[in-house]
Amino acid sequence: MNVRWKLRMAAAQREVWTGADLRRLLAERAGVELSAASVSALLTKQPSQVKLTTLAALCTALECTPDDLFDIDTTPVVRPVAPAKQQTTEPIAARGRSMPPM
């Protein structure tokens, strides 16, 4: 699945140009205080994960929906078909299993 993070575009459309502006909005509108480093990382990097509480706070602060913050490519992945497993004709003992006592 390919996800494209669009936070900077959503912020710019709402006249939010700096991390300090976004931190202020998060505190004022959503009651969430993130560190300057966390906000900077959100604005400059493609996150591998985002907490739902952070996503909700961003949507509240920027007055947007999650659809405004990222795109998801839902094109199905085509995987090659694995070849059928060959059946062996070896006796069970030859494959490393012990035989019951006789």
Q: What does the pLDDT read at residue 84?
A: 75
In contact, 64 and 10? CB cutoff 8 Å: yes
CB 39 within 8 A of CB 93: no
Q: Report the pLDDT value the prediction gives residue 22, as an integer from 0 to 100.
A: 95
- Give the residue with greater pLDDT, 34 vs 86: 34
The pLDDT of residue 16 is above 80: yes
**Which tens digits make up the pLDDT trace of 39-74?**
999 998 888 889 999 999 999 999 999 999 988 888
Mean pLDDT score, 31-36: 94
Please name each of the domains of the chain with its CATH number: 2-73 (1.10.260)
Predicted structure pTM score:
0.69
- Which element (helix H / strand E) includes 11? helix 7-13
